[in-house]
Amino acid sequence: MNSSWDTLKILSDPTRLRLIALVMREELSVAELQEILGMGQSRISSQLALLRQASLVVDRRDGKKAFYSLRPHLEPGQLALVRAAVDSVAGLEVLAEDGRHLDRVLAKRRRVSEQYFNLIAGRLGRSHCPGRSWEAIGRLALRLVPQVVVADLGAGEGMISQLLARNAKQVWCIDNSPRMVEVGTELARKNGLTNLTYKLGDIEQVPLADESVDLAILSQALHHARHPQKAVDEAHRILRPGGQLLILDLAEHGFEKARELYADLWLGFRESALEAFLKKAKFIKIEVAPVSRETVEPYFETLLASATRA
């Protein structure tokens, strides 16, 4: 079903049009759509199935959850119809209410992650953290060049940055947890690391200037990003030409409890997914490879990706 007439018939249903308006803004799970629209799961799922059959939305499985978003690269005519239909009802109160509920759901996502990291601030190094192994961190450290400006994105307490700052010119630690920033700042003060600075900020909107760092690091941070591509794009933005991005993150896994235990939004990534993020951000000299595997269940595997800004 891809003709203009069929698209118009699909969009003529108010519920389907509200769903389209939401997934145009954000990739959402069925449970989140239920919360926003105040409808039952079966009704929403049946309408999403029709939208998927019409090739207007796509679904992505992540563990037991299914997330829905507008299909990328719609035909120009089909996309124009979708946008016109959504724009035509944008002024209705029900759409405004949907938007407010969406903002609340997204704020809840952020609070869950922030609450988890605020809770473990000060004891992160003593708690089990998937993918955080000295073997993996050591491999990352071997690629570092001294006397450079470094940005540790999603730094937490800044365990890696505490080591880098002893040789680097300047290290910026970016984290969205106020408590993590407080703990890290105090550690830097105690260790006399005057070139180590913590900033409160999101890895999808980094509070650093364009082309201001030589090395950017995303160590076990990308699977906490709502939009991993945006985080990689931001790393590209702040890197100087010739600068390098290093990513340490979990390989794709099925340990569903990681969402509850570690506030993970993504259950790791495939090597091909990391490579795709980097290519889309226009990095060059891309390398992605596994560097460690834990010996106890659930046998988390860690990937190391490196890339250079042209």
pLDDT at 110: 82
Q: Tell me whether residue 119 is in a domain.
A: no
Domain match, 87 and 134 both: no
* 275 and 140 co-located in one domain: yes
Joined tokens for residue 11: 């969009």
Q: Which residue blocks in 123-242 are alpha helix, DSSP H?
A: 134-142, 159-164, 178-190, 228-238
Residues 48 and 178 grouped into a single domain: no
Domain membership flag for residue 47: yes
Query: Is 301 found in the same domain as 270?
Result: yes
- Segment 89-97 long-range contacts (CB within 8 Å, at least 24 positions apart): 89/17, 89/21, 90/21, 94/18, 95/18, 95/21
pLDDT per residue over 136-170, tens digit each? 665 566 456 568 999 999 998 888 888 888 888 99
Whole-number Å distance between alpha carbons of 146 and 148: 6
Tokens 């201001």 belong to 212
283 and 159 in one domain?
Answer: yes
> Model confidence over 201-221: pLDDT tens digits?
999 999 999 999 999 999 999
End position of a domain, from candidates 81, 112, 143: 112
CB-based contacts of 163, cutoff 8 Å, min separation 6: 141
What digits encode the pLDDT tens for the residues 276-305?
999 999 999 999 999 889 989 999 999 999
H or E element at residue 290: strand 283-293
DSSP one-letter code for 169: S
158 and 275 co-located in one domain: yes
Residue 148 lies in a domain: yes
173, 97: one domain: no
* 106/140 same-domain check: no
Amino acid 142: pLDDT: 43
Assign 49 to helix, strand or coil: helix
Q: How far is it, in rounded angstroms, from Cα 167 to Cα 164? A: 6
Q: Which residue has the tokens 């979708």?
A: 82
* Same structural domain, 90 and 162: no
Q: What is the pLDDT of residue 121?
A: 72
Q: List for the chain the helix, strand, coil content (%; round to 5).
A: 45, 25, 30
Helix (H, G, I), strand (E, B) or coil at 146: coil
Residue span of the structural domain in which 148 resides: 128-309
- What is the DSSP code string of 61-105? EETTEEEEEEPTT--HHHHHHHHHHHHHHTTSHHHHHHHHHHHHH
Q: What is the CATH number of the domain that holds 89?
A: 1.10.10.10
Residue 122 lies in a domain: no
Distance CA 238, CA 213 (A): 6
Q: Are residues 155 and 203 in the same domain?
A: yes
> Are 94 and 161 in a shared domain?
no
CATH code of 204's domain: 3.40.50.150
Asked if the structure places residue 118 within a domain, the reply is no
Give tens-digit pLDDT for 41-100: 999 999 999 999 999 999 998 888 899 999 998 989 889 999 999 999 999 999 999 999
Does 222 map to a domain? yes
Structural domain count, the chain:
2
Among 47, 77, 112, the domain boundary falls at 112
Q: Does residue 117 lie in a domain region?
A: no
- Say whether both 72 and 219 belong to one domain: no
- In the sheet that holds 57-62, the strands lie side by side as 28-29, 65-70, 57-62
Residue at a domain's end among 112, 146, 175: 112
Q: Is the pLDDT of residue 2 over 80?
A: no
Percentage of the chain lying above the pLDDT 90 cut: 72
Give phi and psi for 225, each to the nearest 5: -80, 135
> Does residue 120 form part of some domain?
no
